[in-house]
Amino acid sequence: MIINGIKIEKTFAEAFPMKATRIIVTAETKYWVSKAVESMTGFATSVIACGCEGGIEKEIKESSTPDGRPGAAVLLFAMDSKGLAKQVLKRIGQCVLTTPTTACFSGLESNEKISLGQSLRYFGDGFQISKKIEHKRFWRIPVMDGEFVIEEKTSVTPAIGGGNILILGSSRGHVLKAGQIAVKEMSKVENIILPFPGGLVRSGSKIGSKYKGLIASTNDAYCPTLQGATKTNLNNEIEAVLEIVIDGINEEDIAKAMKKGIITICKNSNKGIKVISAGNYGGKLGKYHFHLREIMK
């Protein structure tokens, strides 16, 4: 399969089951919303070392937030509900509770729930007040600029992590430009995030290492400088590779984001982009397989 001179390899992106929650953060202004969610999603690129994967899903207009103020939706992903709950508590407590004028709500509805404000309420030192509205409980925690309002629990949903595409090109400049325009379009898809900085990752990894205790190491098969020193998947035309990783709540939206990214690259890139591929581990890591050529049909 060749689109506008770019080869779409006959391969698949291998993804794995995760658990996710959506958090709605609001504040008096968009400025303080952005400061809270940027802090909250910092150091959240990979569960390998960060404890969770997270990103800003979208901005939300005042007319669509629980308290009628500017807001944003954040998606957080972890390998299990227990790990997710731990990350939610830390990130809300240290990054949202601390930000002036903010409030915090669940953005999902499911039968499985974890603590949102249920534990953070103790920061109120006995001065916190609860309010039940219909079937939901909210906590009002006194803080120095007034009150921090937070929903007691947030819902958890099954999710998918590790969808990806690889962009192979003749120079780093070409690949970087293609990746940036792809990320811009892919980010418009709801129910997904691109957890790495700017949506791109250069340090693609493989499972395991020659060094004991290291669970992941550089994906040498896609490192241009290692051609001739390792079993490579590259040819002499390729001088740079960048990866876009996609986490999502469902298969459909991950596939939609991947397709949108590939179409954007093929439509807008010049001869510098040679191949679109994907990272997998032979089907041994995850049960979700996103076949590139099937997605593009």
Terminal-residue alpha carbon distance, the chain: 10
Q: What is the pLDDT of residue 269?
A: 81
Residue pair 113/153 in contact (Cβ under 8 Å)? The answer is yes
In degrees rounded to 5, what are phi and psi of residue 250?
Answer: -150, 165
Q: What pTM value is reported for the model?
A: 0.95
Are residue 251 and residue 284 in the same domain, yes or no?
yes
Question: Which residue segment(s) compose the domain that 139 sits in?
Answer: 18-157
pLDDT in tens, 93-137: 999 999 999 999 999 999 999 999 999 999 999 999 999 998 999
When pLDDT is averaged across residues 154-174 and rounded to a whole number, the result is: 97
Pairing label, strands 273-277, 6-8: parallel
pLDDT in tens, 13-36: 999 999 999 999 999 999 999 999
Helices (H), 220-271: 251-268
Are residue 128 and residue 208 in the same domain, yes or no?
no
**Integer Cα distance of 126 and 139 in angstroms:** 12
Are residue 147 and residue 219 in the same domain, yes or no?
no
The CATH number covering residue 279 comes to 3.30.70.520
